[in-house]
């Protein structure tokens, strides 16, 4: 069985369209809510039968919600690993739900419902992980969408809730609001001006935390950071988001300032560095994931600084997602997993073609 | 081999120390080892969150609020030891069963233990409340009509329509 992403209105990657605020610095905004269905053991402790009952109860509820009526459901437990990786690379499911994160096995009943910018993961660490994904810096819009979905779903399925502790979750770090707001942000200016350590330190003092491109445990590559709230309890949803909004707003300003300083004080060095990154992407015959991310980071900065005008942020966003291993496996081999060297060759070919199409020149 | 200290329980920890060039062997049971601050393999937390709970439990045990490692959630069978291994609770009931320990754990992990966000009422409660609210509006509508307050009655009828 394979995965047909054409069923999704925008392939599930509407969040890449660079339409949101500060799109050259902020790629996307995601808010997720962790919820559990009352009456069952949490996913990790539940038996297969219980997880399947949770799925069927949620399925009935989701399909009766008007905004989710056209949603598409994928049963992760019935998909091969490249298809699961594909969904994960598009940020539509977590690594744990996709069964790609040892020691967590792929669970019976693991599924996701996807609609325009909204997703409901079933049988993740918690029975339900609701998520809203938006392009650019759009916390309020994302929260409005996820809060509505949460109220719609919570009025059809009883959630586990405690008067003192709030929404109950398997992990104590999610209990309370169950809310994790996270902003995917590109900070090459702060990295190059060596201001980044200071900024990251101050994040932690403000109750926020950062991770790499793929969330918890993932490394920072290509100067992409995910900034999110650390705690979920003791503050309201609005207070948590307000704090994230203010701090990320400040980080965006610092990044913009760092970019101005770079151009002013080291203009030709930066220009040379960024054009070299572009040249490598344009002509390289083999690219590892980390290499591609780092060069894409450079080109993205060049586009932000208006040094390169023939490329759109949207194209760069797409390259970020579509040059990953599972996407290349689908584009090149119909989903057959490629070897590492095949992947690197395919990646360079894909990036070359995409840049050629956009800029029109030969390479 | 019995514990060198209490001479009752089996020794689980074999401690070798060197003092003044002399080698000393001490065989301790888990409890006596813990009292001396010696970490036993069984007591070592495997998950980062487990470390928090491990400390919390020791404090809470002093106040007699927990029945210890063997306490088991009657719904999902999760024990404190399970939580220490995985860092995850087994079900919603665990929060009630291990309440005292969890409250302290949340204070440490989250800096707080009181939810101040959205208040949730499960569907049954909400549905019942809606029915009750509509019932009250109907009663007010009946009285408004009786007292010939037609403007108020029209307003109430609209409200009922929206709620239905």
Q: What is the DSSP string of A108-154?
A: TT-EEEEETTEEEEESSSSSEEEEEEEESS-HHHHHHHHHHHHHHHH
The interface predicted TM-score (ipTM) is: 0.84
SS3 A363: coil
| pLDDT grade for B91, boundaries at 50, 70 and 90 | very high
Q: Chain B partners of A171 at a C-beta cutoff of 8 Å?
A: 49, 87-89
A211: CB partners within 8 A, 6+ apart: A217, A218, A220, A225, A226, A228
Residues 124-153 of B with CB under 8 A from A: 124, 126
pLDDT category of residue B43 using cuts at 50, 70 and 90: very low
Residues of A in contact with B120 (CB under 8 A): 154, 159, 161, 167
Q: Which one has a higher pLDDT value, B130 or A187?
A: A187
Q: Would an 8 Å CB–CB cutoff place A235 in contact with chain B? A: yes
Q: Across A124-138, B57-71, B98-112, B143-157, which has the greatest mean pLDDT?
A: A124-138
Query: Around Cβ A20, how many Cβ atoms within 10 Å?
Result: 18
**Residue A116 CA: distances (Å) to CA of A4, A11, A85, B21, B130:** 16, 9, 20, 73, 31
Question: Is the CB of residue A282 less than 8 Å away from at least one CB of chain B?
Answer: no
Q: pLDDT tens digit string along B140-150?
A: 888 888 888 88
Window A:160-179, CB contacts with B under 8 Å = 160-162, 164-168, 170-173, 175-177, 179
Provide the CB-side half-sphere exposure for A356 (13 A, CA): 11
Q: What is the pLDDT along chain A (363 residues), one digit of tens a residue?
A: 456 776 666 677 777 777 767 888 999 999 999 999 999 999 999 999 999 999 999 999 999 999 898 899 999 999 998 889 999 999 899 999 999 988 788 999 999 999 989 999 999 999 999 999 999 999 999 999 999 999 999 999 999 999 999 999 999 999 999 999 999 999 999 999 999 999 999 998 888 999 887 655 556 788 999 999 999 999 999 999 999 999 999 999 999 999 999 989 888 899 999 999 999 999 999 999 999 999 999 999 999 988 988 888 888 988 989 999 999 998 887 778 889 999 999 999 999 999 988 877 644
Residue B62 has pLDDT above 70, yes or no: no
Q: Write the residue in A154, A175, A231 that is nearest to B111 by C-beta.
A: A231
Q: Band the pLDDT of B65: cuts 50, 70, 90.
A: very low
User: What tokens were used for B153?
Assistant: 């009655």
Place of tokens 């210890």: B68
CA atoms within 13 A on the CB side of A237: 20
């Amino acid at each position: 069985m394979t995965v047909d992403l054409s069923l999704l209105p925008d392939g599930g990657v509407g969040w890449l369209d660079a339409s949101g605020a500060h799109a050259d610095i902020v790629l996307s905004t995601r808010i997720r809510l962790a919820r559990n269905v009352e009456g069952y053991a949490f996913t990790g402790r539940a038996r297969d039968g219980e997880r399947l009952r949770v799925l069927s109860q949620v399925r009935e509820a989701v399909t009766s919600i008007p905004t989710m009526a056209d949603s598409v459901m994928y049963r992760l437990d019935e998909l091969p690993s490249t298809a699961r990786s594909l969904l994960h690379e598009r940020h539509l499911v977590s690594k744990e739900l996709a069964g790609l994160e040892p020691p967590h096995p792929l669970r019976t009943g693991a599924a996701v419902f996807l609609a325009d910018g909204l997703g409901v993961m079933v049988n993740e660490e918690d029975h339900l992980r609701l998520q809203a994904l938006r392009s650019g810096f759009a916390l309020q819009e994302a929260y409005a969408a996820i809060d509505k979905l949460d109220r719609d779903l919570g009025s059809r399925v009883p959630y586990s809730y405690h008067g003192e502790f709030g929404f109950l979750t398997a992990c104590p770090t999610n209990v309370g609001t169950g809310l994790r707001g996270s902003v995917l942000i590109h900070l090459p200016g702060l990295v190059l001006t060596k201001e980044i350590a200071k900024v990251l330190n101050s994040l932690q003092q403000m109750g926020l935390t950062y991770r790499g491109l793929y969330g918890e445990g993932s490394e920072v590559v290509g100067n992409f950071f995910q900034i999110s709230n650390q705690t979920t309890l003791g503050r309201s949803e609005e207070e948590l988001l307000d704090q994230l909004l203010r701090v990320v707003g400040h980080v965006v300003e610092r990044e913009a300032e760092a970019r101005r300083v770079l151009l002013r004080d080291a203009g030709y060095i930066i220009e040379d560095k960024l054009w070299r990154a572009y040249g490598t992407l344009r002509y390289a015959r083999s690219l590892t994931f980390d290499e591609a991310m780092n060069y894409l980071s450079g080109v993205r900065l060049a586009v932000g600084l208006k040094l390169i005008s023939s490329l759109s942020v949207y194209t760069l966003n797409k390259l970020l997602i579509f040059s990953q291993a599972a996407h290349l496996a689908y584009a090149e081999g119909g989903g057959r997993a490629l070897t590492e060297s095949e992947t690197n060759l395919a990646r360079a070919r894909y990036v070359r073609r995409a840049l050629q199409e956009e800029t029109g020149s030969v390479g | 081999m019995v514990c060198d200290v209490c001479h009752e329980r089996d020794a689980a920890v074999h401690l070798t120390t060197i003092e003044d060039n002399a080698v000393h062997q001490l065989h301790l049971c888990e409890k006596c080892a813990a009292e001396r601050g010696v970490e036993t393999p069984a007591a070592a937390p495997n998950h980062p969150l487990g470390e928090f709970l491990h400390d919390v439990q020791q404090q809470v045990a002093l106040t007699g609020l927990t029945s210890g490692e063997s306490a088991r959630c009657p719904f999902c069978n999760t024990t404190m030891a399970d939580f220490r291994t995985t860092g995850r609770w087994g079900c919603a009931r665990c929060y009630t069963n291990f309440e005292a320990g969890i409250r302290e754990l949340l204070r440490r992990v989250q800096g707080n233990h009181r939810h101040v966000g959205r208040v949730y009422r499960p569907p049954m409660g909400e549905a019942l409340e809606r029915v009750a609210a509509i019932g009250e509006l109907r009663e007010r509508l009946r009285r408004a009509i009786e007292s010939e307050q037609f403007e108020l009655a029209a307003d109430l009828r609209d409200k009922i329509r929206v709620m239905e």
